Structure 1
């Protein structure tokens, strides 16, 4: 067993206006280890007034930061990546203790975050102006790319480090100030640790703020505050719709990466063993608590039984337990509420005709993998996004039926196609209404230079590479009349 090396008591302060200080709320929050429910640290929460101070601080510091040379801004991003790498052991321990991550998942999350920082270190050099022709004689049209000013970031509990950095890093790189509000359950890895990384990297004080606040106390204040021009939200579709509604009402831009009901389509000619291996990984990684995780595994009837057999055999190899054991792949769910919800969906689906061929024990927040076969698209376990280790395997009689079933969902985030004919796989992939899809791979993929985002109820906008440039900047048209223009007066 590994030993926690971080001192959790050091994470009891907010990071506002370049200072580590107590929140002004009258309420505390106790951060718990989801595996054994032990208390990690208690923090005094941020108040609505604290949120306002954080935004004001970011706005004030942003004015100077915007004028900093691209080379200097890039250097801070690169330095932050170095600081994160040096702190890998500590943040991995935090991720395991705070989120229930396995060591493999926690290290992957650190890798993704470092890659993003280095990728986004290129963005300061892409803030160039362009000249566009004019229909008016003697006029020069210039189009400038500028930071929006201040960005508010709301991040979730499942990949807290990466999904915060994915928005914070590009927003800072292009010259914005940032306030991040991480999920309460993972406020260290999703907010405070990141603030510490950038502080050590030399980011000007006040530019990045991390507020740990309870939505029940602050309501919509984080979104409605007049200073942030863009709100970046990653989380559930229900909450994302609320964020989008509030942003629209206040004429703010919203970047939303929401839920998924992702499919793996296993065509008749697929390599069954390879598809089953990929499906086990894509379903059970981080207990299935990933927006890109496989929710529905759609398999051609002619190979259905063979696939189910292979999938079940490989699932037996998945070790469940304390995530501080490096051999554990499935650790605890984030809280008991998640377990109660998905257990209800399992029971409902069985009553509706699904066959449960594997249903392990539930102990505390630990839930052993569940496999349901003969699932149909109208069953609870297929209709709802499950953040749990539950595999729903749907039989279909044709490729056309598989595509139809895939597209019947309101979601469209990620997906997967397995076939020996790669180009045909691409043809099928292009018929699936989703933002991302992978041929002969599982659905959990992210790369720093690739557009990440969904369609339909899975969100708006794209993160990654130059697509993040679009999310966190604005354009301004400046025309220059170099010759006297005649007017009728």
Structure 2
């Protein structure tokens, strides 16, 4: 069960300041709990506390940071069922998917604990010319300083974890703004962090309205901004962020190629998972499927039949695969995109029905290139299928997108696999599986409108640290 109300965390401490934020059950649309909402004054206090805590964090030994991360791992394990239940309620995530996300939360903090004692430097040979004779260089990685984190609604635990865990490993103070629709998981993380020996002010977790959150972007006391969310918002924040580095993990309309030599049954199983997992509300959800002409008719028949068979309903039901979208507004938006595509000549092979926030799993074909459901990020339970004859043409069609996060390629031809890796304009190419696949230690991020920088613990730590060089002269 959820608590009746939740605090925000200001400078490591729980503060029950108010109950101004209603968090709804996304399936029933009823208020499930209430959360304290921070204002600009509180955010300013959090930033000041982070700045004050940073010198103490700089002095923490790697084993001390590792101990904090290991405490979190054990805390998450003890509260596994509570965390999964909270995801079902606040995010509408089917219970099996919710358990999967809690498992990934634990994995992410485990990886961070391991990496926290591997933040190494290097001894450099500087004697590259006669004038540098007797000089040696060595460098180490030091914390960049207080970080600003803004996380999205669709993975309330693990996408927050991909900011929080590397920050702790690197020794950076931080202030996190979780999504207002799904703040509970982040606040439970805060509750467990509050049990540790982190210096006072090392973290704050502050649900807040967008109007009051400008300091997360503009305040120069922050030395890095990491944002995960929509492209429109992300690029606006970057333009306002000033001199600080900005990491953006934004949207996508991920494509998957199914070549002629593919095991069709395996590909269909994986693509259905990739397209409709947690109602398609993932930036690497399979949205566009390009199938070789020789397989297309058989693929379409099997794929549509299996999509029709997906179970829709209550996220707490063990049999549910498709739960509600995050809001009725988002469901209506995507329903409108589907209707626009049909009006423009697309064939709706199944789905398309809307009931509140529940949008039926939908498959479209022959969607015109310019339609939103093909060109933009659907972020819901819909996929667009089409046929191709030439592999090079399929690669070009994948690249014909403003986005470039990940792509999937089902092929057994090693030369085609390498060609896809070389030519696809994306941050990651997944061979033999869907673009929706991610493990938490890999470099993850995109190009074009899909963002800047890479997540994945080791790569995030690199962004959250700076190189400090020492040069040693030996008199000759």
TM-score range, shorter chain: over 0.9
Partner of 1:367: 359
* Superposition map of 1:144-155 within 5 A: 144-155=140-151
Name the counterpart of 1:285.
277
Equivalent position of 1:173 in the other structure: 169
Q: Distance in 1 between matches of 2:123 and 2:435?
A: 41
Residues 353-432 of structure 1: matches in 2 within 5 Å?
Answer: 353-432=345-424
2:87 aligns with 95
Unaligned runs of 5+ in 2: none
The TM-score, its normalising length taken from structure 2, stands at 0.95
Pick from 191, 201, 205: which aligns with 1:206?
201
Residue 416 to residue 115, structure 1, CA distance change in 2 (3 Å): same
Whole-Å Cα distance in 2 between the matches of residues 266 and 343 of structure 1? 27
Q: Paired residue for 2:221, among 211, 227, 235?
A: 227
Structure 2 residue matching 1:280: 3-state secondary structure = helix
Q: Does residue 1:6 correspond to 2:2, yes or no?
A: yes
Paired residues of 2:12 and 2:193 also in contact (CA < 8 A): no
Give the Cα–Cα distance (whole angstroms) in 2 for the partners of residues 138 and 373 of structure 1. 68
3-state SS of 1:105 partner: helix
| TM-score after normalising by structure 1 | 0.93
- Structure 1 residue matching 2:148: 3-state secondary structure: strand
Q: Distance in 2 between matches of 1:6 and 1:28?
A: 17
Aligned to 2:312: 320
Deviation string 1:144-181 (CA, Å, 9 cap, x unpaired) is 21001111110000001000001110011111111100
| TM-aligned CA deviation for residue 216 of structure 1 | 2.2
Structure 1 unmatched runs, 5+ = 485-489
Residue 181 of structure 2 aligns to a residue whose secondary structure is helix
C-alpha spacing 1:81/1:174, structure 2 compared with 1 (3 Å): same
Q: Residue 53 of structure 2 corresponds to which residue in structure 1?
A: 61
Aligned to 2:42: 50
What SS is found at the alignment partner of 1:415? strand
8 Å contact 2:351–2:361 — kept in the other structure?
Answer: yes
In structure 1, how many angstroms separate the alpha carbons of the residues matched to 2:89 and 2:271?
A: 26
Note closer, same or farther for the CA distance 1:142–1:429 as it changes in structure 2 (3 Å cut): closer
| In 1, Cα distance between equivalents of 2:375 and 2:189 | 35
- Residue 86 in 1 paired to residue 81 in 2? no
What's the RMSD between the two structures over aligned residues?
A: 1.8
Shift of the 111–39 alpha-carbon distance from structure 1 to 2, 3 Å rule, reads same
SS at match of 1:15: strand
Q: Name 1:186's counterpart in structure 2.
A: 182
Structure 2 residue aligned with 1:124, among 110, 116, 127? Answer: 116
| 1:238 lines up with 2:232 in the alignment | yes
| 1:1-47 residue CA offsets vs partner (Å, 9 max, x unmatched) | xxxx232x241x210012211448xx922111111111122234211
Task: Pick one of 136, 146, 166 that aligns with 1:140.
Answer: 136
Query: Is 1:196 equivalent to 2:191 in the alignment?
Result: yes
Give the aligned partner of residue 263 of structure 2. Answer: 271
1 CA distance for matches of 2:36 and 2:464?
A: 31
CA deviations 1:235-282 (Å, max 9, x no partner) are: 1111111121122xx100111111011001111222222211111110
Q: Is the 8 A contact 2:331 2:356 kept in 1?
A: no
Q: Corresponding residue for 1:487?
A: none
Cα drift, residue 65 of structure 1: 2.0
| SS class of match (1:40) | strand
Answer yes or no: is the 8 Å Cα contact 1:147–1:176 preserved in 2: yes
Match of 2:21 in 1: 29
Pick aligned residue for 1:157 from 135, 141, 153: 153
Which stretch shifts more, 425-434 or 281-290? 425-434
* CA contact 1:231–1:254 (8 Å) conserved in 2: yes
Contact 1:23 1:50 in 2 (8 A): no
* 2:33 matches 1:17: no
**Contact kept in structure 2, 1:33 and 1:39, CA below 8 Å:** yes
What is the alpha-carbon distance in structure 1 between the residues aligned to residue 120 and residue 103 of structure 2? Answer: 29
What is the CA distance between 1:202 and its match in structure 2? 4.2
Q: Provide the C-alpha distance between the structure 1 equivalents of 2:380 and 2:262, rounded to a whole number of angstroms.
A: 26
Per-residue Cα deviation, 1:195-217 (whole angstroms, up to 9, x for no partner) = 11222344344211101110123
Paired with 1:181 and 1:44, the residues of 2 have a C-alpha distance of 13
1:331 matched residue in structure 2? 323
**Conservation of the 8 A alpha-carbon contact between 1:83 and 1:201:** no
Contact 2:335 2:354 in 1 (8 A): no
- CA distance in structure 2 between the aligned counterparts of 1:130 and 1:420, rounded to whole angstroms: 40
Specify the alignment match of 2:212 in structure 1. Answer: 217
Q: Could you report, residue by residue, the CA deviation over 1:421-469 in whole angstroms, capped at 9, with x for unpaired residues?
A: 3553343243211111211111212222211111111111111142122
Cα drift, residue 83 of structure 1? 0.7
CA distance in 2, matches of 1:217, 1:73: 31
Deviation at 1:193, TM superposition (A): 1.3
Partner secondary structure for residue 182 of structure 2 = helix
